[in-house]
């Protein structure tokens, strides 16, 4: 793991080996430039501890740019609990309680919430031992907030492509009908957009499509399905050297994290004249809502306005990218770095 830590540009990493559960805990603090670090806790089985550390470092850096991309006063952090084998529920809960004790010792320099393998009910377990956890004090489900941010991103894309935010008659393909995908689909359906839905659970996709008057798409043919805007709202890495040539859309704007398998994939999209709304800006709504409402005690109106401002942020990014004839990904990274260099507003 030494080479990973030497090459990382973050601030510090807290490492603990939990002997009882035979699990490694990594809390990566990438940046506190804008505020105390915050990011979810991921728990899964890893082939080797190094893989868990690598995930923590990568995800913490991503959180730094997510917060900076929407100019929000939080820093980038992430935690990974790297299991070596499945745990019984009782053992898992005890591990999460011990993890909560570790988070508490950091005195608020890191706060956390749900992520892969740690759902809302397990966040409550962590919250037994620390106050520095989101999702336990009434902010509610972050999914609809994330969906609101993605909807705002789609509106920005529509305005850039067609000169209007009006989505009536525009075809939007949503990949992934989950906590974000469903509220996003409902918002899109309400605008009169022509909605297409793809999900690995084809029965669920068919049911949601019937409810909303949408078209369910064969999940195996998702990337080749014609649409105006493709909204990936499931797993990451879906935009890559194999899928990008298949795309039959004019833009991509979705909630999935790490949509680009490689940075070069942003340029592949640009070469195909497919407008890309960088995921770390488009999907920031849920994180902004949880931290804003629970940690920073912001009003719901202020948080809503902040999430809706994703539209204007992307308009600025699109304009710069167009002037430089480059992918919006590069303009978004410059935007975020400028916010970090400036420091807290």
Active-site amino acid positions: 78
Helix and strand numbers (H, E) in the chain are 13, 12
Q: Residue 66, exposed/middle/buried by CB under 10 A (0-12, 13-18, 19+)? A: buried
For residues 232-267, one letter each, b for 16 or more C-beta atoms within 10 angstroms of the residue's C-beta and e for the rest, the string is bbbeeebbeeebbeebebbbbbbbbbebbbeeebbb
Q: For residues 104 and 335, give the distance between their C-alpha atoms in angstroms, rounded to a whole number.
A: 33
Quick count: other Cβ atoms within 10 Å of Cβ 301?
8
Q: For residues 126 and 269, give the distance between their C-alpha atoms in angstroms, rounded to a whole number.
A: 40
The position carrying tokens 């991103």 is 153
Using N-to-C axis directions, what is the helix angle for 310-324 and 143-162, rounded to 10°? 40
> φ, ψ for residue 339 (rounded to 5)?
-65, -40
| Alpha helix ranges (H) inside the chain | 2-7, 49-69, 89-105, 120-126, 143-162, 181-191, 202-212, 264-271, 279-282, 285-290, 300-308, 310-324, 328-342
Q: For residues 251 and 117, give the distance between their C-alpha atoms in angstroms, rounded to a whole number.
A: 31
* Dihedral angle computed from the Cα positions of residues 114, 119, 122 and 123, in that order, rounded to the nearest 10 degrees: 30
């Amino acid at each position: 793991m030494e080479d990973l830590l030497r090459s990382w540009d973050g601030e510090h990493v807290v490492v603990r080996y939990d002997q009882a559960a035979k699990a490694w805990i990594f809390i990566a603090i990438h940046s506190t430039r804008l505020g105390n670090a915050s990011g979810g806790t991921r728990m899964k089985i890893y082939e080797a501890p190094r893989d868990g550390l690598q995930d923590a470092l990568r995800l913490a850096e991503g959180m730094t740019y997510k917060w900076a991309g929407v100019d929000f006063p939080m820093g980038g952090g992430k935690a990974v609990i790297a299991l070596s084998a499945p745990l019984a529920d009782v053992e898992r809960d005890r591990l999460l309680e011990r993890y909560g004790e570790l988070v508490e010792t950091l005195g608020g320099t890191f706060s956390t919430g749900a992520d892969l393998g740690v759902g809302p009910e397990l966040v409550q377990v962590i919250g037994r031992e620390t106050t520095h956890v989101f999702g336990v004090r009434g902010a509610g489900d972050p999914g609809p907030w994330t969906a609101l941010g993605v909807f705002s991103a789609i509106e920005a894309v529509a305005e850039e492509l067609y000169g209007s935010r009006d989505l009536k008659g525009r075809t939007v393909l949503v990949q992934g009908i989950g906590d974000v995908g469903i509220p996003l689909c409902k918002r899109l359906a309400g605008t009169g957009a022509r909605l297409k839905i793809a999900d690995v659970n084809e029965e669920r996709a068919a049911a949601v499509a019937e409810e909303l008057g949408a078209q369910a798409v064969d999940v195996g043919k998702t990337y080749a399905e014609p649409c105006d805007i493709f909204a990936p709202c499931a797993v990451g890495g879906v935009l890559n050297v194999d899928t990008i040539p298949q795309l039959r859309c004019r833009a991509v704007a979705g909630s999935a994290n790490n949509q680009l398998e490689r940075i070069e994939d942003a340029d592949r999209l640009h070469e195909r004249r497919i407008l890309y709304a960088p995921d770390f800006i488009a999907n920031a709504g849920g994180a902004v809502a949880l931290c804003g409402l629970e940690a920073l005690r912001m009003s719901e109106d202020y948080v809503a306005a902040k999430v809706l401002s994703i539209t204007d942020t992307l308009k600025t990014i699109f304009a710069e990218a167009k002037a430089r004839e480059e992918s919006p990904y590069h303009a978004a990274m410059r935007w975020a770095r400028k916010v970090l260099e400036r420091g807290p507003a």
